[in-house]
């Protein structure tokens, strides 16, 4: 007779593996099914995030950033580096090693927590029944009181730019280049496109970003997005907004991209093109016809606020369901669902999920931007503070950027924090915690910050909400702080 579990999780990305570990910690008999096979033919855990997403992209971003600093910025602080060069193959090998370490680490965490790892493709047959097709084609059916679907997402492909081995690639392909392309086209100037474009721009590619929308990073506060666009353009990214790709052609091992912009039809030739136009939920093969689990109109698994699907005791989390496609959102949903299954009360605060773009400087935000708050009919007051006025930012040779706190004009409650600047991805945790605790801008303003730290930029932005930033000499700006 097949094994029976309290919980079977399908998918071991940051949603699924975290859910499985938490469920086991709660004393539930748990198994996690995973089908991802690495280059060596071995099933590995960690999903998109560890294998082809967050971790490999950050490894390349850090390496290429260090290279840029050594090549262009160290001279500013008196370090003579002489000739600096980048060994792309070595950079890639380091990235692969980090990925292998981390994916192997998840398997150890499963063992340590008593999670049974089932290798193969999972399918929900019906409430309480999961079929696993192993690599050798053998099938086994398992009983589970609860099922968590965490099958993630895959890159969107667009008909005008079909993937073409080595020439037109998706984000996964862009993490594998073995040499720096001379001319690189990136279709889509969203989070992933900007990160990957930055990596190769730093290593010497001439990068052109083709973005269909007229506005740059519309989810980010306008002031912060404008500053980001300025800084990235200064670094050499040619960001073309309102440029919709309509076709591609391979000619002599080059890619000719056709696009339309305000001036009409255009064409540009590249050595390689990365398609970064978003991701779609991956639900292929995981739901048997009789499973009864409904999808929404966009193809995501339909869930309520507690990640319950249309079938009792079947849950779904992460990129496969509505909401932001972020690793930490997936993990938090995994924890919530495991806790609910274990009989505890659990909630997600979807208003306080941070987002980070790991460019240099980083862009990070949580909550509403000023425009969203106004559209929602909320009267706001805002405070901004420039990194250029921070002593620590000067010492760090990192004076680019600005932090902005957006608060409710009536209650002073923080509605959002948006930042571009060094360590913005770390700084944003202050905004997240403040919002999680329902803090006012004054709460942040009255908090004692260590000096000298980059965090003081957020403190000053909170002080600026009432026009009381300390280190702001510029009269016009002082007046503007309290606009």
Residues that bind ligand FAD (CB under 6 A): 10-16, 33-36, 47-49, 52-54, 57, 121-122, 150-153, 171, 192, 282, 285-286, 318-320, 325-328, 330, 358
CB nearer to ligand FAD: give 66 or 413.
66
> Taking the complex as a whole, how short is the minimal distance between the CB of residue 243 and ligand FAD, in angstroms?
22
Is residue 134 among the annotated active site residues? no
Q: Select the residue interacting with ligand AMP from 16, 53, 188, 416 (CB under 6 A).
A: 188
Q: Which does 245 bind (CB under 5 to 8 A by kind): ligand FAD, ligand AMP, none?
A: ligand AMP
DSSP class of residue 351 equals: G
CB nearer to ligand AMP: give 115 or 209.
209
> Do the Cβ atoms of 53 and 327 come closer than 8 Å?
yes
CB nearer to ligand AMP: give 53 or 401.
53
Mark 251-290 with x for binding to ligand AMP (rule: CB under 6 A) and - for no binding.
Answer: -------------------------xxx------------
Q: Which of residues 86-145 bind ligand AMP (CB under 6 A)?
A: none
**Angle in degrees, 0-180, between the axes of helices 88-113 and 54-68, rounded to the nearest 10:** 140
- Please tell me whether residue 364 binds ligand AMP under the rule CB under 6 A: no
- Please tell me whether residue 352 binds ligand AMP under the rule CB under 6 A: no
Annotated active-site residue in 451, 459, 468, 471:
451
> Taking the complex as a whole, how short is the minimal distance between the CB of residue 170 and ligand AMP, in angstroms?
11
Q: Which does 237 bind (CB under 5 to 8 A by kind): ligand FAD, ligand AMP, none?
A: none
Q: Which of residues 17-46 bind ligand AMP (CB under 6 A)?
A: none
Q: Output the furthest CA–CA distance in the chain (Å, rounded).
A: 78
- The four Cα atoms 428, 155, 360, 374 give a dihedral, to 10 degrees, of -50
Strand runs (DSSP E) across 53-107, as ranges? none
Q: CA angle at residue 315 from 313 to 320, to 5 degrees?
A: 160
> Taking the complex as a whole, how short is the minimal distance between the CB of residue 66 and ligand FAD, in angstroms?
18
Mark 214-253 with x for binding to ligand AMP (rule: CB under 6 A) and - for no binding.
Answer: ------------------------------xx--------
Rounded Cα–Cα distance for residues 364 and 389 (Å): 19
> Do the Cβ atoms of 57 and 196 come closer than 8 Å?
yes
Contacts of 4 (CB under 8 A, 6+ apart): 29, 142, 143, 144
Instruction: Region of 74 please: left (phi>0), alpha (psi -120 to 50) or beta.
Output: alpha
CB under 8 Å, gap of 24 or more: what pairs does 39-46 form? Answer: 43/119, 43/120, 43/135, 44/103, 44/104, 44/107, 45/12, 45/17, 45/103, 45/106, 45/107, 45/110, 45/117, 46/12, 46/13, 46/14, 46/17, 46/99, 46/102, 46/103, 46/106
Instruction: Region of 259 please: left (phi>0), alpha (psi -120 to 50) or beta.
Output: beta
Rounded Cα–Cα distance for residues 37 and 50 (Å): 13
Rounded Cα–Cα distance for residues 20 and 117 (Å): 10
Which range of residues in 65-73, 174-182, 190-198, 442-450 is near ligand AMP by CB under 6 A? 190-198
Dihedral over Cα of 105, 106, 109, 114: its sign: negative
> Taking the complex as a whole, how short is the minimal distance between the CB of residue 46 and ligand FAD, in angstroms?
7
Q: Select the residue interacting with ligand AMP from 154, 158, 346, 429 (CB under 6 A).
A: 158
The token pair at 26 is 């709660």
Dihedral over Cα of 463, 465, 468, 472: its sign: positive
Q: H or E segment at 54?
A: helix 54-68
Q: Which does 15 bind (CB under 5 to 8 A by kind): ligand FAD, ligand AMP, none?
A: ligand FAD
> Taking the complex as a whole, how short is the minimal distance between the CB of residue 412 and ligand FAD, in angstroms?
30
> Taking the complex as a whole, how short is the minimal distance between the CB of residue 217 and ligand AMP, in angstroms?
8
CB nearer to ligand AMP: give 183 or 244.
244
> Taking the complex as a whole, how short is the minimal distance between the CB of residue 430 and ligand AMP, in angstroms?
24
Q: Which does 212 bind (CB under 5 to 8 A by kind): ligand FAD, ligand AMP, none?
A: ligand AMP
Q: Select the residue interacting with ligand AMP from 98, 154, 213, 429 (CB under 6 A).
A: 213
Active site residues: 451
Which residues of the shown chain bind ligand AMP in the complex (CB under 6 A)? 158, 187-188, 190-192, 210-213, 244-245, 276-278
């Amino acid at each position: 007779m097949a094994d029976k579990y309290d919980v079977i999780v399908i998918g071991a990305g940051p949603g699924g593996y975290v859910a499985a570990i938490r469920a086991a910690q709660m004393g539930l008999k748990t198994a996690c099914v995973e089908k991802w096979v690495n280059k060596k033919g071995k099933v590995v855990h960690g999903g998109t995030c560890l294998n082809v997403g967050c971790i490999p992209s950050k490894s390349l971003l850090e390496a290429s950033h260090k290279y840029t600093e050594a090549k262009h910025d160290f001279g500013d602080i008196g370090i003579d580096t002489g000739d600096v060069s980048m060994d792309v193959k070595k950079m890639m090998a380091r990235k692969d090693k980090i990925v292998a370490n981390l994916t192997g680490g998840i398997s150890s965490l499963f063992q340590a927590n008593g999670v049974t790892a089932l290798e193969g493709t999972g399918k929900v047959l019906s409430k309480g029944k999961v079929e696993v097709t192993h690599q050798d084609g053998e099938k086994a059916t398992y009983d589970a009181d609860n099922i968590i679907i965490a099958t993630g997402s895959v890159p969107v492909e667009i008909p005008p730019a079909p993937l073409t081995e080595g020439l037109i690639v998706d984000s996964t392909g862009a993490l594998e280049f073995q040499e720096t392309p001379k001319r690189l086209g990136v279709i889509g100037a969203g989070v992933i496109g900007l990160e990957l474009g930055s990596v190769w721009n730093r290593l010497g590619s001439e990068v052109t970003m083709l973005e269909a929308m007229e506005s740059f990073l519309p989810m980010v506060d306008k002031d912060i997005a404008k500053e980001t666009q300025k800084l990235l353009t200064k670094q050499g990214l040619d960001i073309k907004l309102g440029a919709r790709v309509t076709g591609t052609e391979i000619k002599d091992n080059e890619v000719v991209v056709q696009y339309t912009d305000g001036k009409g039809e255009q064409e540009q030739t590249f050595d390689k093109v990365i398609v970064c136009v978003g991701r779609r939920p991956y639900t292929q093969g995981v739901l048997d016809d009789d499973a009864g689990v409904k999808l929404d109109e966009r193809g995501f698994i339909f869930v309520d606020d507690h990640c319950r699907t249309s079938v009792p005791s079947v849950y779904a989390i992460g990129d496969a369901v509505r909401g932001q496609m972020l690793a930490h959102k997936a993990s938090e949903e995994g924890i919530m669902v495991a806790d609910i299954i274990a009989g505890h009360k659990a909630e997600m605060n979807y208003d306080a999920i941070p987002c980070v773009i790991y460019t240099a400087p980083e862009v990070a935000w949580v909550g509403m931007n000023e425009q969203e708050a106004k559209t929602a009919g909320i009267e706001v007051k805002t405070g901004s503070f420039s990194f250029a006025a921070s002593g620590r930012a000067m010492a760090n040779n990192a004076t680019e950027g600005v932090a902005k706190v957006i608060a409710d004009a009536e209650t002073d409650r923080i509605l959002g924090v948006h930042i571009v600047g060094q360590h913005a991805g770390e700084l944003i945790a202050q905004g997240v915690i403040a919002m999680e605790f329902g803090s006012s801008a004054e709460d942040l303003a009255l908090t004692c910050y260590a000096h000298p730290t980059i965090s003081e930029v957020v403190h000053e932005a909170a002080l600026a909400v009432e026009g009381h930033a300390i280190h702001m000499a510029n009269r016009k700006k002082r007046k503007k702080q309290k606009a």
